[in-house]
Amino acid sequence: MTRFKSLFAIICSSVIFFAGHRAQADQVELRQDQLQSIGLLGWIAPQLEIPQAEANLPIVDPKDSSPAASLLRRYEARGIAGGLTGVVYDNRDRDHSKLPQAAFPQLTHLSYGPALREQGLDYGLAGRIILPTTVIGNSSTALTQRPSERSQARFAMTTPGGAERAFLTYANNHLYVYPEHRDHDDADLFPANWPYTLISQGSSHSDMPFVKALVMTVAAFSRETRDFLEAERLVGPTLQMIFRRNQKGLYTPEQYLSPAAHPTVYEANRLAPERMVAMAAALKPDEIPPMVHIDIEAEDFSDAAGLAGMSERLFQTSSAIARVWRSDAYSRTMTVSAEKTEDPNGHALNFKWVLLRGDPDKVRISPLTASGSKATISIDWHDSRRIAPGEMRTTDRVDIGIFAWNGLHYSAPGFVSVSFPLHQIRQYQPIGDPKTMRLVSVDYSNRENLKYVDPLLHWTANWKDEFTYGSNGAITRWQRLFPDETIVIQGEGARSGVPAPLHQLELEDGRPILVMRNALEPEN
């Protein structure tokens, strides 16, 4: 496990410094002069002093009569629950959706000094500052400026450095909750799934039930278990495992290894905080599963694909990998390894690879080792479809979950996600000898089947391309259909001496449009 210590642990082998005893765990202010740069990713604050609460402060608000709170008090009375001393709550929406101080009297609330507030480092997406302790946080905010409006979590998935910072929080005992805010209504607009955050269904304040459940779960860990989790940087993965394992209606390991346990976005009515508290209190240090580490060993997704030559590699982080299908190919293949995953207690590991989203007839997972530590994944083109039977919401994504089994518990999943540009209407047919699925037409215009197009990922164009193939599978004719004209680019009817079409991206009202800039472009 040593070589997989987080960036924070590599840069600074720090301990948590506690101030003298106070009447209650109050706020701790983070100042600019306490930050140390870690390059483009942001800063760490290794010398931040976390105030320690009086030992007799209640673990949870005495007025809270919920089953989870009652159970937590019983565990505290029995000397099992370790409480919240040294744990920090980070509100990142300037008190818009804030956990009340009285809800958990032992919990330290983070505030930001004036210089940090002026830079906006207290607001919105987390990850630019890493603290030397367990952090639970939220930001009930979203980006609302069109045409790039999106939730904070989708912003992290679709902007440079966002996924890396999200992993950095996850690998340093931080876990944040964000609302999906219109990214998961009629359609799931997220290009990937990951374990780095929790995303709540809804908008403002929908995050708070999840924050409370996570804080209660941390409070239920024994002191020995929490010390081990913090030292191994496994608070985030373990909270994700406990949360996903203990949703309402999910009671068995088999159900945990099912799509129902791992959607992109979670409904508050599926929370079972009392079950989370019970599992956390029972968890022993030598039972804790690892964080899954995955790598791509081989793939046919590329750095430049499609007419615009854009990268298909959206992000590649240690526990989540995302690809965007841009090629005209019908099938794609990758070999993925989880061999770098190490159990924190040295247990032998076995791995499960589970199709969490996608058509099982179009996804093939072939383990390559006896333990399942490596697999080849083959995926065929997917059209738009419902997320699940009886579900009205649609999706444009395939998700594969990778779970490590240590003999006692399955880990939180690692994810391989592939998203599709489903504003494009594609048709494939078996061509040639032997028969191979080939693209015979693709409409880039998004006119006939109007769908959301993420301007940070995809483009549209004012045409439809059609292809004809010979018996050997080679293109014999390529024609381009505009609203008022058809031109032949290749094959019979093409103008001789005209070079292949050149394409470039332009912005129109903030949305990328692919245009053709050579002699083949039809006249206005």
- Over residues 317-338, the pLDDT tens digits come to 999 999 999 999 999 999 999 9
Please tell me whether residues 401 and 429 are part of one structural domain: no
Please tell me whether residues 32 and 161 are part of one structural domain: yes
- Write out pLDDT tens, residues 446-469: 987 789 999 999 999 999 999 999
Residues 245-263 have a mean pLDDT of 97
Would residue 212 count as lying in a domain? Answer: yes
Would residue 9 count as lying in a domain? Answer: no
pLDDT of residue 522: 53
Label residue 105 left, alpha or beta by phi (over 0 means left) and psi (-120 to 50 means alpha).
Answer: alpha
CATH number at residue 360: 2.60.40
DSSP-assigned letter for residue 266? B
Alpha carbon distance 85, 167 (integer Å): 25
Packing angle, helices 223-231 and 235-245, rounded to 10: 120
Residues 416-424 have a mean pLDDT of 96
Would residue 522 count as lying in a domain? Answer: no
Q: 287, 309, 330 — which closes off a domain?
A: 287
- Write out pLDDT tens, residues 335-347: 999 999 999 999 9
Please tell me whether residues 437 and 493 are part of one structural domain: yes
Residues 164-169 have a mean pLDDT of 98
- Write out pLDDT tens, residues 181-209: 999 999 999 999 999 999 999 999 999 99
Confidence of residue 25 (pLDDT cuts 50, 70, 90): low
Alpha carbon distance 71, 354 (integer Å): 34
- Evaluate if residue 6 carries a pLDDT over 90: no
pLDDT of residue 492: 86
Please tell me whether residues 359 and 441 are part of one structural domain: no
pTM: 0.93
Please tell me whether residues 414 and 434 are part of one structural domain: no
Three-state SS at 175: strand
The mean pLDDT value of the chain amounts to 93
pLDDT of residue 268: 97
- Write out pLDDT tens, residues 457-500: 999 999 999 999 998 889 999 999 999 999 999 988 888 767 78
Residues 143-161 have a mean pLDDT of 96
Please tell me whether residues 197 and 333 are part of one structural domain: no
Residue 140 has phi, psi (to 5 degrees) of: -85, 60
- Evaluate if residue 409 carries a pLDDT over 70: yes
pLDDT of residue 434: 81
Would residue 10 count as lying in a domain? Answer: no
Please tell me whether residues 184 and 281 are part of one structural domain: yes
Would residue 319 count as lying in a domain? Answer: yes
Selection from 460, 424, 395, 457 nearest residue 148 by Cα: 457
DSSP-assigned letter for residue 500? P
Show the domain range for 265.
Answer: 15-287
Residues 6 or more apart in contact with residue 102 via CB below 8 angstroms = 61
Confidence of residue 54 (pLDDT cuts 50, 70, 90): confident
Please tell me whether residues 379 and 493 are part of one structural domain: no
pLDDT of residue 471: 87
- Evaluate if residue 19 carries a pLDDT over 50: no
Alpha carbon distance 199, 184 (integer Å): 10
Query: Is-contact 276 283, C-beta < 8 A?
Result: no
Our count of domains for the chain comes to: 3
Confidence of residue 240 (pLDDT cuts 50, 70, 90): very high
Please tell me whether residues 215 and 80 are part of one structural domain: yes
Please tell me whether residues 247 and 136 are part of one structural domain: yes
Please tell me whether residues 269 and 347 are part of one structural domain: no
Give me the sign of the Cα torsion angle 183, 187, 191, 193.
positive
Lowest-pLDDT range, 58-67, 378-387, 428-437? 428-437
Would residue 5 count as lying in a domain? Answer: no
Please tell me whether residues 277 and 304 are part of one structural domain: no
Structural tokens at position 44: 């760490």
Beta strands at 36-37 and 43-44: parallel, antiparallel or unpaired:
antiparallel
Would residue 504 count as lying in a domain? Answer: yes
pLDDT of residue 16: 35
Would residue 102 count as lying in a domain? Answer: yes
Q: 287, 318, 337 — which closes off a domain?
A: 287
Residues 6 or more apart in contact with residue 26 via CB below 8 angstroms = 51, 101, 108, 109
Q: 287, 309, 329 — which closes off a domain?
A: 287
